[in-house]
A and B are shown apart, each in its own frame.
Chain A
Amino acid sequence: MRLERLEVSGFGGLQRRRFDFAERVTVVLGPNESGKSTLHRAIRAALYGLEAGSPGHPRDRSEWARWSPWTGGRYGLALTYRLDSGRRFRVAQSFDRGKIEAQVHELGGADVTQSFRFGRLVSPGQVHLGVDEAVFCAAGWVGEESLRLSSPDGPSIQAGRLREALERLADSGPEGSTAAQALERLRDGLRRVGSERRGGTPLGVATAQARRLEAEIASARRRLEAFAADEERLRALETAATSAASAALEAQRLWLAGRIAQLDQQVREAAEAGEEIAALTAALDREAAHAGFPADEEAAVITLGGELHQAEGIAADAERRWADAQGMLAAVRRRRAEVAAGLRALPSGMPPEVDINARAEELRRRLAVAAAVSERTEELAAAATRDRALRREMAGTGLGAVPGSDLETVVPLIRTVRFGRIIRRALLGVAGVACLAGASGAAAAWAAGRAPLAAAVGIGLAAALTAIAVLGWFTSRAPIRARRALASLLPGADLEGDGLNRLVEALPAATRIHREREQRAGALDAGRAELDQARAELEVVVDGCCALAAECGARAAARPPRGSSVLALAAGATRALDGVDDLARQAARRGELEVEDSRLGAEEHQLADLGAEAGRRREVAASVEGRIRSITGAAGIDGSLPPLAAVAAFRDACERRREHDRLASRLAEVRRHHDPGSHPEAAAQRREDLISELRRRSGDPGLVTAGPPPDADQLAELERAAVSAQNRAGAALSASEVLRARLEGMTGGLPSLADLEDDRLAVAAARDRALHQQAALQRAIEMIEAASREVHGRLAPRLAESVSTRVSRLTSERYTQVNVDTEHFAVALAGPDRDQLVALELLSHGTRDQVALLLRLALCELLGGSGESLPLLLDEPLASSDPSRRLALSKFLSHLATTNQLVLTTSDPQLAAALSAEDGSGGAAVLDLESGVSMADASLAAPEP
């Protein structure tokens, strides 16, 4: 970048001034307070704008207030500059109160203000130089102190400061910190956070507290759970004590109620016993007459009474049966007389060893079979008639002479004969046509005078006829053989023309008839054989029937003669069998009558016994009655009573005697149990005592009489239960009191889980926060280290290269090589005369200063990245230098101006002259602020509308 012109309408002490800058070196000459530094600041303000206050930065303490025109009026300026590419720009900044604005024009182009606006500021320097204002100040705005690296310090400190300055520039700009410093601050933060292992740090404390609180909470939970378990146990004990006490009380109430009921029962029983004795005495008096009745005879009398009752009943039954049997006996005797007459009328019967029925049955079955076969004789006759009719029908077809088995061979023979006839006719037709055609042809040729042709035709015709004849001979051989075969099969048959046709037509009918005859012939033969067999069987059956009838002695007709008809044989056999059946029926009837007579005889005997039995029973009953009369009479029972009534009267008297004895016994028992010496008053008092005891135990005496009184065992059991429950209640109560006392002692000392949880949560939050801080600091350190490695590693070689180029030129190639360390930008140089790299602090003062300036310039350009050369604003750079050093620096600056435009200020006219003279190219100028050019038109500095 090359600055061309600055027009100031008002800026600090400068008013309405215009400054044209030389191409390489512009020396601004003026005394103190003449505005030299203001000029530099104005250039910065043109390139970067002017901060006019912000939140937290009041405007009256801002740079804007500091550089406002001293004498009032317009506040603004305009700078024209040219880029290394040749493009020219004019930036006008107006800082008037209430109207701070800026405008950038590319000369020959358009308004490009917006391209340079950063917030409220318009900063073309930031775009075209690539560095912000701070970096520009650090590198391009150089005072004497910046050029001279703290000369009072030692070389190593100077080099260190340079490295730090470079690092700061590279890491965060001139006002920031180096990466190393930033890392150190972060590590300091990490130390403040601490670690989980270091007890004195927040993180360590939080971790330790968290562990302690976790343990305390676990312990507290265990204690609370134990306490809760004890509470549960206490409740269980209290429940058990209450339950046992209730059980004891209930048992006591029951026992008291039982005792009261017992007392009541005893009183009731005493009263009842008195009443019973009186009643019993009166009843005894009433039964006194029966006191001596012979009750020991009662069993005998009852037995006799029973026997009498039974004997009378039996005798009555026997009389009734005898009365009924007398009519039946007469009927039986009449029937026996009829049976005897029947037996006498029947024959004596068949020999018992003959199994007549079985044999007769077998013969009857065989007879039925043979008769059934015989009935098929008519069917056989009809079949024979049908066969004869078929034979006649077969003869009508003309094929009757052909055996059935040969009918199949007749068919192909007839076909062969018919085929031969057709061939023969065809050959004859062909031969006729050939003869006709040949004859016609030969005749025509002959007529046309072509005799050879006629001869040839004739020869051809002869050959053709010969061939036809040969063919006819060959084809007629098979039909001839067939005809001969037919003639042998059908002698006399017409084998020509229609005859053959008729044979062909009759063939199906003949075949059908032949098949039917074959079928019928088999059935006819079988029927005839079966009929013959049946006849033989019938003869045998007739013999058997006649023999059986003879054996039984039956009267039967004579056997039919052998060879009789089937019907006659069957009738003879049937008659013999019928005679056998009659004989068998008579024998069966005799047997039946004999059985009936035997049964009637036994029945007659039984009925006759009933009369004897009735007499015996009457005698037994009379005997028993006599014995009863004897006993009852002795006991004083009325003898006029019927015997069974006397028995009843005896039993009634015995019952009265037993009632008397029972009353006497009961009276004795009641008298024995009733204590005539007991005192009802004492019992009543005892009862009252028990009732008050019951009431004391919340019992209800009104319910005492509700149930039966318990017995002594039950009362003892209740007493034992009450004592046991009381013991249990006492034990549980005692244990619960001990436990309650212990729990009450513990209650105040129980840990507060809520407090502990709260503390734990607070500590956990603090720990989490510390861990979060630790992680964030760690990540920040890692990221800065990575960023530092990246930036340093990228910048250091480029710095070395940039400085190498310049230093070689500026030192007339005394040093040609520069090395920059990537860690901390430590600089070392080497040259043709010095093989080894020489650290910066070992170089001469002048060289160090020059290298320092070059390094800053290079770094500034590298950070900018725009490739634009940075104009250097040097403020009194050589004010306090000795002459030799001033000369050296003048030469250095002159050389430097070849790459970077210089605008330097001085109050020394000689120095100004020297510097301008140093540049021999004509690119230098001196601006004398005292006699400088004043702007004729202040509006130059105002932004164009």
Chain B
Amino acid sequence: MTFRILHLADLHLERSFAQMGCQGEMARRRRQGLREAMRRAGEAARQAGCEAITIAGDLFEHERSGAETGQFLVETFESWAPIRVLLAPGNHDPLVPGSPYLCSPWPANVHLFRRNHLEPVPLDDGLTIWGLGHQEPAWTGDPLGGERASPGGETGVHIALFHGAELGSRPADKAIHGPFTASEIRSRGFSLALCGHYHGRRIDLRAGLVYPGSPEPLGFDESGPRGPVLVEVEASGEIRCTGLDTNRWHADTVTCRLDGVSNLTAAIDRVSAEVLAATAGLPLERTTLRVDLVGAVPPSVAIDLFDWEGAVRDTTGVGAVRIRDQTTPALDLEALAGEATTRGAFARIATSALAAGSDAEERSVLRDALRYGLEAFSGSEVGLR
């Protein structure tokens, strides 16, 4: 008989989407979208005949959660019964005082892993889930470490469930919480490790490692289909994993070259065209996009990011747009600095100050100051970046 588990992680309920350019109603819709993603996961589990749903941490963001979060989770999990729900808290939803995990009256089908070392929960004859929960937001213990925290030579299928950072595939800017290596999974006697923390999906049956990724995009770099992973465990011990594409929101990053544009209208038209091309086939109202402007732009083309974002949203109908200006002024700064004019002197002062800038923030200010000054000298209105 096949035992089916639906695995998800990194839902990040109550997340802030301000960094993605979502504010007010849009941000609320995005958060509602996360709850809908969770309900859809339950539906998917029911349709697939799952007997358990595992959630490997970061189910919600503790600092923005409240009683209502706990109430939603209790009601949702209750509606999933008799499917069993196994919760392994992560670094964003650790088991700290005041956590909805500790304050909510969980229904009988929910099991919460409360210790920071793996402990077993038998699911079926010969199938055991070993889970742990983070007890603090910055836990750096080894989730697979310790003799008592592994099945060792016990018979049956043993699956680990935790929130941790697999060091071999860690994205560059991802924090390390619960570090481990993929090779430890099998050496510790586990057939599979159902993990959370990385927002990109990774199914590696050879190493026995599964990251479902966030079911809805939480950042501009989380593009493509997303959703939970269906895990099927045969009586023989054979395991199959299938990623389900259930996301309804989309995110992407578009790079737009502005070389050669001579005026504001042409520039915005070009950006809009690029955005429409990149979002073809996507539901625009549920798409959040980051546009990286690159290329050399004449100082006379003022880039006011706020105005541009509004203009592109209005033109394309995309839900949220966040523009990053990475353009350079279409000027030979070196030649400019060689001028005997005030503009040349300004260019010299600015470039030397930029070279001597002590930190990134100061250099950023100086870069913008240079752009503003050149725009002002060019005779156009200064575009606020």
Contacts and interface: CB of A to CB of B under 8 A. Distances in A.
Interface of A: 54-57, 118-119, 169-173, 175-177, 179, 181-183, 185-186, 188-189, 192-193, 224, 227-228, 231-232, 235, 747, 750, 752-755, 757-759, 761-762, 765, 769, 772-773, 775-780, 783-784, 786-788, 790-792, 795, 862-865
Contact of A747 (B31, B71, B364): B71
A691 B22 CA distance: 68
Nearest to B335: A118
B342 A779 contact: no
A864 B338 CA distance: 11
A57 B259 CA distance: 11
A170 B341 contact: yes
A227 B67 contact: yes
B67 A224 contact: yes
Given A56-B261, A762-B23, A765-B18, A171 B373 contact: no
Contacts of B306: 769
B202 to A, nearest CB: 28
Nearest 6 CB-CB pairs, A to B? A55-B260, A787-B345, A761-B18, A776-B368, A182-B376, A56-B260
B49 interface: no
Interface string B16-43: 1111001110011001000000000000
The dominant DSSP class at the B interface is: helix
Interface of B: 14-19, 22-24, 27-28, 31, 61, 63-68, 71, 98, 103, 105, 259-262, 305-306, 332, 335, 339-346, 348-350, 353, 364-366, 368-373, 375-382, 384-385
25 contacts: A171-B341, A176-B377, A176-B378, A177-B376, A185-B381, A186-B372, A188-B382, A189-B384, A193-B384, A224-B66, A227-B67, A754-B15, A754-B16, A758-B24, A761-B16, A765-B18, A772-B365, A775-B369, A780-B350, A780-B368, A783-B349, A784-B342, A787-B343, A788-B345, A791-B342
A791 B17 CA distance: 48
A831 to B, nearest CB: 30
Contacts of A189: 372, 376, 381-382, 384
B376 A791 contact: no
A783 B350 contact: yes
A752 B15 CA distance: 11
Nearest to A790: B345
B25 to A, nearest CB: 10
B64 A185 contact: no
Contacts of A792: 342
Contact of B368 (A176, A752, A772, A787): A772
A773 B304 CA distance: 11
Contacts of B376: 177, 181-183, 185-186, 189, 780, 784
A768 to B, nearest CB: 10
Nearest to A761: B18
B334 to A, nearest CB: 11
B365 A776 contact: yes
A170 B342 contact: yes
B14 A754 contact: yes
B264 to A, nearest CB: 13
A55 B380 CA distance: 20
Contacts of B31: 754-755
A199 B315 CA distance: 30
A762 B18 contact: yes
Nearest to B261: A56
Which of B18, B27, B31, B71 neighbours the largest number of chain A CB atoms within 10 Å of its CB? B18
B19 to A, nearest CB: 7
A779 B16 contact: no
Contact of A776 (B15, B71, B342, B369): B369
A775 B365 contact: yes
A175 B306 CA distance: 29
Contact of A791 (B63, B98, B261, B341): B341
A185 B28 contact: no
Contacts of B65: 753-754
A776 B261 contact: no
B342 A172 contact: yes
Contacts of A758: 16-18, 22-24, 27-28
A126 to B, nearest CB: 10
B97 to A, nearest CB: 10
B307 to A, nearest CB: 11
A810 to B, nearest CB: 25
B343 A176 contact: yes
Given A177-B377, A759-B23, A784 B368 contact: no
Which of B65, B98, B342 neighbours the largest number of chain A CB atoms within 10 Å of its CB? B342
A773 B18 contact: no
Nearest to B368: A776
A583 B256 CA distance: 150
Contacts of B24: 758-759, 762
A780 B370 contact: yes
Nearest to A783: B349
B369 A755 contact: no
Contacts of A783: 346, 349-350, 353, 369, 373
Given A55-B259, A55-B260, A780-B350, 20 more contacts: A176-B378, A177-B379, A182-B343, A186-B376, A188-B382, A232-B103, A747-B71, A750-B68, A753-B66, A754-B15, A754-B65, A757-B16, A759-B23, A761-B19, A762-B24, A775-B369, A776-B365, A780-B368, A783-B373, A787-B345
A762 B19 CA distance: 8
A750 B64 CA distance: 13
A228 B64 contact: no
A177 to B, nearest CB: 5
Nearest to A179: B342
B372 A780 contact: yes
A780 B369 contact: yes
A753 B382 contact: no
Contacts of B103: 228, 231-232
A173 B260 contact: no
B234 to A, nearest CB: 41
A755 B17 CA distance: 9
Contacts of A172: 341-343, 377-378
Nearest to B322: A765
A467 B349 CA distance: 123
Contacts of A227: 66-67
A765 to B, nearest CB: 6
Contacts of B342: 170-172, 179, 784, 787-788, 790-792
B368 A773 contact: yes
Contacts of B262: 56-57
A862 B377 contact: no
A232 B100 CA distance: 12
A755 B15 CA distance: 9
Contact of B379 (A119, A176, A224): A176
Contacts of B368: 772-773, 776, 780
A57 B298 CA distance: 13
A63 to B, nearest CB: 16
B343 A228 contact: no
Contacts of B17: 758
Contact of B346 (A119, A759, A784): A784
B340 A863 contact: yes
A231 B23 contact: no
A787 B68 CA distance: 59
Given A176-B343, A192-B384, A747 B67 contact: yes
A189 B23 CA distance: 25
Contacts of B332: 119
A169 B339 CA distance: 11
A755 B29 CA distance: 10
Contact of B67 (A173, A185, A231): A231
Which of A56, A189, A192, A758 neighbours the largest number of chain B CB atoms within 10 Å of its CB? A758
B45 to A, nearest CB: 26
B369 to A, nearest CB: 4
B372 A776 contact: yes
Contacts of A171: 341-343, 377
A862 B340 contact: yes
